[in-house]
A and B are shown apart, each in its own frame.
Chain A
Amino acid sequence: MESNSMSSSLNALPSRRRFLGEIFSGKENPFRAAADDTVVETGEMVQLLSVDGYVIEIDKAYLKPVPDLSAPLSINGREGIEGRRFVMVIDLSRCKNLKKCQSACNKMHFVGEGQNWIKVHAMKEAEHTAPYWQPTTCMHCDEPPCVKVCPVDATFKREDGIVLIDNERCIGCRFCMAACPYSTRVFNWSKPILPTEVENSTYSPETSCPPKIGTVGKCDFCPDMVRKGELPHCVSACPNGVFFFGDINEDSVTNGAETFRFHELVRDRAGFRLMEDLGTRPSVYYLPPVNRLFRFEEGLEDSEGNNK
């Protein structure tokens, strides 16, 4: 609508709507009509400020109001998404060991052979306690032991709570892997086998792609999806709605279908964190496996075929 608000809106927060079409940093010209778009030019010209800072004129017919807009990825990945503090709540009463979360995550992040950023453990604490399936992501601890020990600042805690890895700085000493008590980190022991376009893409810690040999990888809470306003891949992939993802500042978490107030969910369903007494202050909460949707044994059938 308002082309004269272009210059201010370019500096706007990601959640505001803009009328420029989709903008990804560094990618193709957003104003070029898609190949098969039959757009009838009206002759009415509109002045816009391009991403490089030039004033350009295009026909109004090319403008498409976009309901949601992706924000450009942070180039070095170290600035967090402002004002956010991401948390995850995993509902153990719903997990059936389908490992759809694992396959979606592995696929979208080109995770290598034998590696899994999400592991689904069969847990049974003691002889008489019940067995259950526990999907384990990176805990994105508020006092991360992995970050404490990194000698080159290749892994870091951002203000939005996400712990990321900069694979262009990592020297592969694997101290972080030794330090993590949740054993959540994996290592690229050999050259990752990737499709060409992924291999040639620009690296960003927010996508963790392309993975590089001799460096460490782990669950990254999908900051690229989150910037777009979409949920991480594991959350959307789980058919049972096991993963809830959200913002503690906003006090809400969602699994795509259901949204809850975070503090109410954790309080009413007696949420807990793994290895709380180690003092790592994880950002991932678990809801105990009570009133389960599935028996533990139903997950064993899947594990026969799925267990690598």
Chain B
Amino acid sequence: MKTMLRSSVIAYISFSLICDPGISITAYAQEKVSPRLDIAYFQRDSAARYLSIKVRKKIGKRFEPVAEADVNVFLEISGENVPLGKIASNAKGEGKILLSADVITSMNDLDEYSFYAEIPETDSLEEVTEYLVIKPSRMRVETNDSDSSIRVMLESKTDGNWEPFEGAELAVFIQRRFGKILIGEEFNITDENGAVELTFDTEIPGDENGSLTLESAIEDNDELGNVYATTNKRWGTPMVAADKFDRRTLWSTRDKTPWWLLVFPNAMIAGVWGVIIYLILLIFKMKRISREMK
């Protein structure tokens, strides 16, 4: 029995190796690819921070995404590589590492953020490491109600002190549900005070109270990464809902039937069925007459 089992197992394995050579052959013939690893730093209002990871490989002249690549990310804190997390890239070769609350707290003590990402060697990928050094920054949006002016203040940490950062390109937007509308120029450069000044002069709907979210955005800055700062102001016109579709119409739900459709058809139906019930009663009356005859 046992020998039968063993020999059948051997037979099965050899069978599958012979008849499914794809596995064995490709395992030996697979070439390892050296992927390209990109990390970018994102900071929103100094509280939510994350790293966006992109893994791609070069095929011919184009880059193709690499899916399911494991990427480990670390941050250097006091000489130690603190692990931030690990992701497996999705079908588009992308991933996101969110920095947790206490990591953010520890980052406040740092003079620079040294991120380090690595892809360990696998059957299909060669080992890759990538570094990213970011200068700590903080940005805030100040507004003046009297003249509808906006002032963006940008500071970065140099030698442990917060100082104005000059020469960063930023743009100011009104946040919308799915996109953002630009205010003023597309490229504003922060001056020696780390400031950019604009005027808000558009009429645009906000929420029901007219609140808008203004966002100042620095994108792909070599030193600072991607930094966003927002503020809410009631500078928009109060949003008026275009139509809540809760009137009585032919296309509303059954509880919002038009009056005339409730009254007339139901009256007619009630009338006819009243007649039907009367006729049925007449039949019963005829039956009763017959019974009484007996």
A residues with CB within 8 A of B: 1, 17, 19, 34, 36-40, 42, 44, 60-67, 83-85, 142-145, 147-148, 153, 156-159, 161, 229-231, 245-254, 256, 258-261
Contact = CB atoms under 8 A, between A and B. Distances in A.
Given A36-B70, A63-B100, A247-B176, 17 more contacts: A1-B47, A19-B101, A38-B85, A39-B100, A60-B102, A62-B100, A64-B99, A65-B104, A156-B253, A159-B241, A161-B242, A229-B178, A246-B178, A254-B176, A258-B179, A259-B176, A259-B182
Contacts of A158: 245
B178 A61 contact: no
A38 B83 contact: yes
DSSP class of A's interface residues: helix, strand, loop or mixed?
Answer: loop
B286 interface: no
Contact of B85 (A37, A42, A65): A37
A159 B245 contact: yes
Contacts of A61: 100-102
A67 B253 contact: no
B86 A38 contact: yes
B181 interface: yes
A37 B97 CA distance: 10
Contact of B100 (A1, A64, A254, A260): A64
B177 A36 contact: no
A250 B250 CA distance: 28
A166 to B, nearest CB: 11
A159 to B, nearest CB: 5
Contact of B176 (A1, A40, A153, A252): A252
Given A17-B48, A229-B178, A250-B205, A64 B98 contact: yes
Contacts, number: 120
Nearest to A64: B98
A282 B22 CA distance: 53
A65 B104 CA distance: 10
B228 to A, nearest CB: 9
Nearest to B254: A153
A65 B98 contact: yes
Contacts of B208: 83
A65 B98 CA distance: 7
A250 B48 contact: no
Interface in B137-178: 176-178
B251 interface: yes
A259 B101 contact: no
Interface string B78-113: 000011011000000000001111101000000000
B101 A63 contact: yes
B241 A85 contact: yes
Contacts of A159: 241, 244-246
Contacts of A254: 176, 178-179
A234 to B, nearest CB: 13
9 contacts: A1-B47, A36-B86, A39-B85, A159-B244, A161-B242, A248-B242, A250-B176, A252-B176, A252-B181
A248 B244 CA distance: 13
Contacts of B251: 143-145, 147-148, 157
B239 interface: yes
A256 B177 CA distance: 11
Nearest to B213: A15
Residue among B83, B101, B104 having the largest count of chain A Cβ atoms under 10 Å: B101
Contacts of B48: 17, 65-67
Nearest to A280: B251
Nearest to A145: B251
B36 interface: no
A66 B204 CA distance: 28
Task: Report which residue of B42, B50, B240 has the largest number of chain A beta carbons within 10 angstroms of its beta carbon.
Answer: B50
Contacts of A246: 176-179
B56 interface: no
A157 to B, nearest CB: 5
Given A65-B47, A159-B246, A37 B86 contact: yes
A231 B241 CA distance: 21
B180 interface: yes
B44 A83 contact: no
Given A37-B85, A259-B180, A142 B98 contact: no
Contacts of A34: 85
Contacts of B253: 153, 156
Nearest to B182: A259
Nearest to A42: B102
Interface string B235-257: 00001111111100111111000
Nearest to B96: A67
The 8 tightest CB contacts between A and B, nearest first, are A254-B179, A259-B179, A252-B176, A64-B98, A147-B251, A65-B48, A67-B48, A38-B83
B121 interface: no
B240 A249 contact: yes
B49 interface: yes
B257 to A, nearest CB: 11
Contacts of B85: 34, 37-39
Nearest to B50: A67
B201 interface: no
Contacts of A153: 253-254
Contacts of A249: 205, 239-242
